[in-house]
Amino acid sequence: MIVRPQQNWFRMLLVWDGSVLPSILPQMALMTIVSTLAVVTKGSVLGEKLPLNIASFTLLGLALAIFLAFRNNASYERFWEARKMWGQSLISARTLTSQAQRYGNPGVGEFDQMLFENRLIAFVYALKHQLRHSAWNDDLGRLLSGEDLAKCGQVQYRPVMLLDRLRDMIAVAHRTGHLCSEQLWMLDNQLNELSVILGACERIASTPIPYPYSVLLHRTVYVYCLLLPFGLVDTIGIATPVISVFVSYTFLALEAIVSEISEPFGIAPNCLALDAIATEIERTVLELGGREMPPAAAVDKKFQLS
């Protein structure tokens, strides 16, 4: 996802990167050609006049808009739930780091705070890479020891393994007297919260919107857009290409948007900014530990006004 600054109204009219327009340019070109042919042929196909009028497209357009709204709501609900889960992971990471630092008996028992923080940050990056099916070696390689890295290479669910390692650390701290039972319970509760977040993200990633919805919407949008010029040509004549392309842009762009945000963990411009969120979690955990932080995620310079 692109991280952008706030933009004024004029810049919003001209923005290119991050909009869905580049992905639907071929469809827009096709609609321009079809609309022009409808004007040239006066609404005929192979010499036969299509008996279409604007009233039928008004009713069909209303039904299509309602269905698009349903699809949009379903897609945005997935996107927003995913965003809430990652927001909660930030809260849990901060809380867990603070509790691990402030609770316990200094000098009693064994507890490696730096290792705990590194494994917690590694969990965040491991979750990001699991959801995106991307290479995890670089991010986890700078955070984990050789033993942990070797274990990561042997398992399929690396976030689960790292949570288990974190739980083992607090269990050992409890057995050696560093943590009392109440403190163990508080830290374990935050680990449970991270486990819930992990499960929720896996559920979203593994349960797409039912395929027939996407097929029906896709077919209906294209049939509507391709027939629209033949229903408009008798009413608005030479203005048919302009109106048809504009209406088609609205429907095709909305379909592209809902398809994009329905997969919130992807790498498309309008998916969740997981790189920036993971970096922010790492920064806040390291700051709580009094350690050097990496640079914050940069705003894309292409979107800054000169």
Distance CA 166, CA 123 (A): 9
CA distances from 119 to 125, 132, 134, 148, 160 (A): 10, 20, 19, 9, 11
DSSP per-residue letters across 176-245: TTSS-HHHHHHHHHHHHHHHHHHHHHHHHHH-PSPHHHHHHHHHHHHHHHHHHHHHHHHHHGGGHHHHHH
Q: What is the mean pLDDT for each group of 10 consecutive residues in the chain (306 residues)?
A: 58 69 89 92 82 81 85 92 96 95 83 94 97 94 91 94 96 92 94 97 92 87 91 88 92 88 88 92 94 78 35
In the prediction, which pLDDT does 296 show?
84
Residue 103 lies in a domain: yes
- 8-state DSSP, 294: P
pLDDT, position 301: 41
Inside any domain, residue 5: no
Which pTM does this prediction carry? 0.85
Q: State the pLDDT at residue 306.
A: 27
- Report if residue 214 sits inside a domain: yes
- The Cα–Cα gap between 32 and 35 comes to 5
Give residue 303's pLDDT: 36
Report the DSSP beta bridge partners of residue 49.
Answer: 44
Residue 19 lies in a domain: no
Q: What phi and psi values does residue 111 have, to the nearest 5 degrees?
A: -160, 115
Residue 145's domain spans which residues? 24-39+51-291
In angstroms, the CA 94 to CA 112 distance is: 17
Number of domains in the chain: 1
Domain presence at residue 173: yes
What is the DSSP pairing of strand 44-45 with strand 48-49? antiparallel
Question: What confidence score (pLDDT) does residue 299 get?
Answer: 56
In the chain, the N- to C-terminal Cα span, in Å, equals 22
Is residue 296 a part of any domain in this protein?
no
Note whether residue 44 is domain-resident: no
- The Cα 282–Cα 3 span in angstroms is 17
pLDDT at 6: 63
The pLDDT of residue 302 is: 39
